[in-house]
Copies of this chain bind each other. A is one copy, B any other.
Amino acid sequence: MTTDPATDDRSPSAPTRPSAATLRDVAEAAGVSKASASRALDPASQYVSSSTRARVLDAAERLGYRPNASARATTTGATAMVAVLVSDIRDPYNAEIVHGVIEQAGVSGLVATFAGTDHAIDDEIRVVRMMRSLRPHAMILTGTRSGSTVSRTSLEAELERYTQEGGRVVVAGDDELPFDTVVVPRRRGASALVAELFRLGYRSPALIRPDRDSAAARQWEDGVLEAADRLGMRIERGDTVRAPMTRDGGYDAAARLLARRPEHLDVVLAATDAMAIGAMTAMRDAGLAPGAGIGVAGFDDVVGAEDVTPDLTSVDLALARVGAAAVELALTGPGDHRRIEFEPRVVVRGTTPARLG
């Protein structure tokens, strides 16, 4: 990062705006001082007579007055704003978290501001610098990031600087930065899924996992294996197959699995719902009814698990709650690398009926 402080980001062409109504306008219209008007407009202030308040509110309403948030912020030093750094808003996982952030910010009286970081730590550093200007109450980092160790250190330093100015940093995702974190419970969710399937009578899972490595894929697989191991379920060498992380990838993977006529299998676990749905089709094409002979379960439950027949067992990671919790964490004072992890919800549906005996 060679962000020269000279590169000041002053607004390019500040056009002289026609004036919006101002506190002074309201005060004059109501025939009181600015101080009184300010107090009357503050619902928390008790030092106003009700008649003054009424006249001020009336004037404000008439003038369409909206307080100038910037002026207020320079006066109080605080901005009712939370800045969200998101790697890619188009990713449905991020979108879900962001949705939770927006919702919770709304109820907490905060405005949410976003910037894209494109998964690159160097972009994040740039964005943190830019956002620091806004003096937001907190910054929330979402999604994944990659970059050199040097970059990572710079990012931490920049964020550290921000916290020293009184800002709050919260990570929503993986626990990989030394700040308060709301962990997306992938690993735990995968474990819980396997445990639930065990309870339902399943003993021999096959795994369909993405061919490209990622933290998410790894966490899913770790969670599955951990639970399987703990419960004494055996997963044979050849029962894990890799494929592109799409519906068709799931189809191919399942077709390969089934071609081996693996009589011992009783359930197929896929790392995403899309892959699981593809696997269901492959099973049908092989003459098997998903759920009747072999069970199927997906993961993440972001899209479409309920739209298929039978509907697909999956794991709800409560991503919107993750986003909301990140805002709440930011609001509950500075913490020293606190860590929140929700219980993921295993959603048992038609593809994994209870197995007899």
Where the two chains meet, the residues of A that have a C-beta atom closer than 8 Å to any C-beta of B are 4-12, 14-20, 41-44, 53, 57, 60-61, 64-74, 76-81, 88-90, 92, 95-96, 98-99, 102-103, 106, 108-109, 111-116, 129-135, 137, 161, 164-167, 244, 246-249, 277, 281, 304, 307-309, 333
Contacts and interface: CB of A to CB of B under 8 A. Distances in A.
Given A18-B166, A102-B114, A248-B308, A67 B7 contact: no
A20 B92 contact: no
Contacts of A277: 247
Nearest to A249: B307
Contact of A9 (B65, B80, B134): B80
B78 A307 contact: no
- Choose among A5, A98, A109, A114 the residue with the greatest number of B CB atoms under 10 Å from its CB: A5
A74 B68 contact: yes
Nearest to A110: B11
A89 B78 contact: no
Contacts of A77: 14, 16-17
A166 B132 contact: no
Contacts of A307: 244, 246-249
B76 A74 contact: no
B43 A8 contact: yes
Contact of A61 (B5, B16, B68, B244): B5
Nearest to A86: B102
Given A7-B43, A17-B166, A112 B115 contact: yes
A41 B4 CA distance: 10
